[in-house]
Copies of this chain bind each other. A is one copy, B any other.
Amino acid sequence: MRNYRYRGYLIDLDGTLFRGKEVIPEGLQFIEKLEERGLSYLYLTNNSSRRPEQVAEKLRGFGYPAHPEQVVTSSAATARTLVESFGRPPSVYPIGEEGLVCALEGAGCRIVTDRPDAVVVGIDRTFSYDKMKTAVLAIRAGARYFGTNGDLVLPTEEGLLPGSGSLCTAVAVASGVKPTLIGKPEKPIVDMALKRLGLPPEETVIVGDNLATDIQAGVNTGIDTLLVFTGVTTPKEHAGADISATYTLDSLKDWDFI
């Protein structure tokens, strides 16, 4: 028996539940309604730099109920994908920050610089020529190449800064190998979230503000999507795009659960 359109929600963070340092109040109400109805939900983020604990803490700071287990990061999905791809935790040379290294170590991967099984690139504010060189030589020597997410830029208060995808591209053109990408809009992060949610795709909806990541993720995995115009994508951009969301809303307060 389905009392609700969807039993599971995979929800984006920045632009959907908050904007930079500001909460989006309709996001709070939305999560409150999910809780009242006993519906399942997870927070899904391409941010690879923070641990789930840190993301949950940030959400709680805005007033959202959030445990670390409710947070799926691109780093966690990358670690999971690596272990599945190799059939065991591989040795990894990571270019990334705390969130990535902790996720890899937590999954049993050994962090090495010499002859790794895999190279993983995520956002790294201490990215350097030497790191790039180590990654490129390892990939040219046969290491498999993964990227946490393809976002070329990182929106910050300073402006649009280089994102994970730009670092991935630098290593890709220098090594001649394109990375397997994990975060939205790719399948691996969604697969991990569905498995944790324990629900089939058809009872799940992806909620986000970004056509190229959130909505494209739904298109790539056959999951319905709800695009909310409180962040990156405008109604005009959505209207002119090749793909479209299952639902669009100006605000999450307008969502009808039944």
Contact = CB atoms under 8 A, between A and B. Distances in A.
A170 B169 CA distance: 6
A213 to B, nearest CB: 16
- The complex is assembled from copies of this chain, and their number is 2
Interface of A: 124-130, 132-133, 136-137, 140, 152-153, 158-163, 165-167, 169-171, 173-174, 176
A132 to B, nearest CB: 5
Nearest to A169: B173
B127 A129 contact: yes
Given A127-B129, A129-B125, A162 B170 contact: yes
B124 A166 contact: no
Given A132-B127, A132-B166, A174 B159 contact: no
29 contacts: A125-B129, A125-B130, A126-B128, A126-B129, A127-B128, A127-B129, A127-B132, A128-B129, A132-B162, A133-B158, A133-B161, A133-B162, A136-B160, A136-B162, A137-B159, A137-B161, A140-B159, A152-B173, A152-B174, A153-B174, A160-B174, A161-B174, A162-B171, A166-B170, A166-B173, A166-B174, A167-B170, A169-B170, A170-B170
A121 to B, nearest CB: 11
Contact of A169 (B128, B161, B169, B176): B169
B160 A140 contact: yes
Nearest to A133: B161
Nearest to A154: B174
B173 A165 contact: yes
Given A170-B169, A174-B152, A129 B137 contact: no
